Amino acid sequence: MIQPKNVCVLVAEVPGRRHLVEALGAHEVNHAVERCMHRIERAVEANAGARVRREAARACATFERCDAAILAACEMLERVESLPPLRGLRMTIRVGVHYGAAASPCQPVSADEALAMRLADTAKPGHILASNAVVMQLSHGVRHLACNTPLPDPALDGLGWPVFEIVRYSGTITSIPAAERISQRLRIHHQQDVLFVEENRPVVLLGREIGNDIVIIDRRTSRQHARIERRREGFVLIDQSTNGTYVAENGGAEQCIKAGELALIGPGRIGCGFSANDIERDLAFFEIV
């Protein structure tokens, strides 16, 4: 018998749907929840995840790497909470992540998927919980997003794994020692827009699809083309496109990044699917300030 392959299982859900329906009506709430689920799926896709199943207000996905699952969890929270309020109520989600075997879409829920569901059910709205099985496999660049001590919650007694809360990109970063935080910002200039990658906005998305932070209308640009992350050690560009991302720093040779990462030192230019040395209206210019 073939043993199922271990993967990182992520479960995200929109909490309090029944109470929202009672207060606001089913039609309006269903529309809002559907928008949340769409943004969850986009974050899964952007981080190379695979959807396993989806319910009315809950989604399950798997990832080959635990790093990707944690980054997807942070991104989907940011995407959902950027939605306009629903009659003054801010939409949010809660997420559970565990490492183990996942069932296929046509099979019953696996024990490891059920554990990820339990973590999601236990998490407070707007929070991410990950089992120790996940945290043990995180790289140095992502490990700092997990709190240093397990979460003391009686609801998790008997789980079999210590559970850690994941520090959100857009929230507090008190788990990172002050001496290790970077104080610089990366400024991005695209056409008439100026954005900053900084503590309050540590991820900027570039792509052709409406909804990216920087929208590039060019047939050579992928829908979710690339992302720039603020990390403890500096700013990093991650390519997730078909045609690659071209970076030319002033005074240096142009580099093409494809399914890889590049530390940005700058100042320089970014071309999403086209050369950064071309005279293009959709070039993005960056510098560290």
Residues 202-218 have pLDDT tens digits of 889 999 988 888 999 99
Q: What distance in Å separates the CA atoms of residue 254 and residue 251, rounded to the nearest whole number?
A: 10
- The pLDDT assigned to 103 comes to 59
- Pick from 52, 93, 102, 53: which is nearest to 74 by CA? 93
Q: What is the pLDDT of residues 216-235, one digit of tens each?
A: 999 999 999 999 998 877 89
**Integer CA distances (angstroms), 229 to 82, 120, 203, in order:** 18, 25, 5
- The pLDDT assigned to 79 comes to 86
Q: Specify the DSSP element, H or E, that contains 38.
A: helix 26-46
Determine what percent of the chain is predicted with pLDDT higher than 70: 88
- The pLDDT assigned to 183 comes to 54
**Integer CA distances (angstroms), 207 to 226, 228, 239, 243, 273, in order:** 7, 12, 11, 12, 10
- Determine contact, residues 232/141, Cβ cutoff 8 Å: yes
Q: What is the pLDDT of residues 42-93, one digit of tens each?
A: 899 888 899 988 998 999 999 999 999 999 999 899 888 888 777 777 889 9
Q: What distance in Å separates the CA atoms of residue 37 and residue 101, rounded to the nearest whole number?
A: 23
- The pLDDT assigned to 177 comes to 42
| Cis ω for the linkage preceding 267 (within 30 of 0) | yes
- Determine contact, residues 179/187, Cβ cutoff 8 Å: no
Q: pLDDT grade, residue 1 (50/70/90)?
A: very low
Q: What is the pLDDT of residues 127-172, one digit of tens each?
A: 999 999 999 998 877 888 898 889 988 888 878 789 999 986 443 3
Q: What is the pLDDT of residues 250-273, one digit of tens each?
A: 867 899 999 899 999 879 999 999
Q: For residues 239-262, b (16+ Cβ closer than 10 Å) or e, as one string?
A: bbbebbbbbbbeeeeebebeeeeb
What angle do the packed helices 26-46 and 17-24 form, to 10 degrees?
140
Q: What distance in Å separates the CA atoms of residue 182 and residue 17, rounded to the nearest whole number?
A: 39
Spell out the residues 6+ positions from residue 152 whose beta carbon is closer than 8 angstroms to its own: none
